[in-house]
Copies of this chain bind each other. A is one copy, B any other.
Amino acid sequence: MANPLLVEITRGGIVESGHRGALAVVDPEGRLVFALGDIERPIFPRSAVKGFQALPLIESGAADRFGLTDAELALACASHSGEEEHTKTAASMLAKAGRDETCLECGAHWPMLNQRAREAKGPNGDRALQALVAAGLKPSALHNNCSGKHAGFVCLAIATGHDPKGYIQPEHPTMREITAALQAMTGFDLAKATRGVDGCSIPTYAIPLRHLAAGFAKFASGVGLSPARAQAARRLRQAVAASPFHVAGTGRFDTVVMETLRERAFIKTGAEGVYCGALPELGYGIALKIDDGATRASETVMAALLARFLALGSEAKVVTERLDHRMANWNGIEVGRMRPVAALRG
């Protein structure tokens, strides 16, 4: 059975392309509020669960011991664009733990290409890249979009008395603690789950959307969590709301939405069309996956869910314009629209 269409792209008044997928929205009691498609099939949440993976950093006392700032905690939850402020912040986290980038095990990659930022700002959209090239440098592990998460893992390892070396391995005590947090939040038995390797070399576990959404409902509400874990979740939500630039980057959807909604929504994208979110005022958790992995579609579905469940005013145009997004060509002529299907708009 194919998942339902969630997003349509039109041109000349007909549908040119469409994206299928599934989504779950769960309340603090773990009840399904809204769902479309197959939410029981395990999917790899990828970077969308970085918030869960950062919980031990706070619960262990590592964040306090090293005096991590909101920006640093936001970076621990981030898939950042490798802009200068991101790499500096990752380096600062490592320095506070007495380490440097040589202990990062995420691999290096060039700063993300950011077409939207370039369209908005011209070449400054890729300032990070230009600076590297101009200096004749190659990217380091600090530029990896996961460097903040990895720096957080290194801080956690050191604060809990472990050699960080090999922290990306499933059996390393630090990774075991992170995996335990993911299992506790989602209530899904990861020992029996399919395990893959993520882009940054840590394990990623296939988990049903229903369970991921239930985890984010706990993250949003604290219901069902120990006081220490509920407090850690709140601190991460507040840190990201205070520093949304650090969780993504210039022009990116996570960043522009949270710059507007602040603590009303914690949202986090993941590779291959995954998006998760927490809505604290309702205690709702959201998890969605686009079958084909397209980010344009996962962002559109997340926008539809934010608009459906939150009372949004004219200040939230970055969200509401995605409900009927005008697509223009290089001459500025409208060529079509991108929009969520009617079933999503509610």
List B contacts of A13 (CB < 8 A). 194, 196
Q: Is B201 in contact with A330, judged by CB distance below 8 angstroms?
A: yes
List B contacts of A122 (CB < 8 A). 110, 138
Looking at A15-23, A53-61, A300-308, the stretch in contact with chain B turns out to be A15-23
Q: Is A20 in contact with B2, judged by CB distance below 8 angstroms?
A: yes
List B contacts of A272 (CB < 8 A). 9, 16-17
Q: What are 10 contact pairs spanning A and B, CB under 8 A?
A: A9-B293, A11-B197, A16-B44, A17-B273, A106-B330, A108-B330, A110-B122, A198-B335, A201-B331, A294-B294
Bound-state CA distance A134–B294 (Å) is: 32
Interface members, chain A 1-58 (any B CB < 8 Å): 2, 9, 11-14, 16-20, 42-44
Name the distance in Å between A295's Cβ and chain B's nearest Cβ: 11
Q: Is B12 in contact with A291, judged by CB distance below 8 angstroms?
A: no
Interface members, chain A 90-111 (any B CB < 8 Å): 105-110
A18's nearest neighbour on chain B, judged by CB, is B291
The 7 closest A-B pairs by CB, nearest first: A12-B196, A107-B330, A17-B293, A2-B2, A11-B196, A107-B331, A292-B292
A137's nearest neighbour on chain B, judged by CB, is B123
A292 touching B19 in the complex, CB below 8 Å, given contacts A110-B118, A122-B138, A123-B132: yes
List B contacts of A291 (CB < 8 A). 17-18, 292
A329 touching B200 in the complex, CB below 8 Å, given contacts A2-B20, A110-B118: yes
Bound-state CA distance A229–B303 (Å) is: 50
A173 within 8 A of partner (CB): no
Name the distance in Å between A41's Cβ and chain B's nearest Cβ: 9
Name the distance in Å between A330's Cβ and chain B's nearest Cβ: 3
List B contacts of A335 (CB < 8 A). 196-199
Name the distance in Å between A240's Cβ and chain B's nearest Cβ: 24
Q: Is A329 in contact with B18, judged by CB distance below 8 angstroms?
A: no
- How many chain A residues touch B (Cβ–Cβ < 8 Å)? 60
A115 touching B113 in the complex, CB below 8 Å, given contacts A123-B132, A294-B292, A330-B106: yes
Bound-state CA distance A89–B87 (Å) is: 40
Q: Is B333 in contact with A200, judged by CB distance below 8 angstroms?
A: no
A113's nearest neighbour on chain B, judged by CB, is B113
Interface members, chain A 125-156 (any B CB < 8 Å): 126, 129-130, 132-134, 138, 144
List B contacts of A17 (CB < 8 A). 272-273, 290-293
A283 within 8 A of partner (CB): no
A162 within 8 A of partner (CB): no
List B contacts of A115 (CB < 8 A). 113
A336 within 8 A of partner (CB): yes
Name the distance in Å between A280's Cβ and chain B's nearest Cβ: 30
A310-327 CB mask vs B (1 if < 8 Å, else 0) is 000000000000000000
**Residue among A43, A134, A199, A334 with the highest chain B CB neighbour number at 10 A:** A199
List B contacts of A144 (CB < 8 A). 330
A206 within 8 A of partner (CB): yes
Bound-state CA distance A335–B122 (Å) is: 34
A168's nearest neighbour on chain B, judged by CB, is B331
A176 within 8 A of partner (CB): no
List B contacts of A18 (CB < 8 A). 291-292
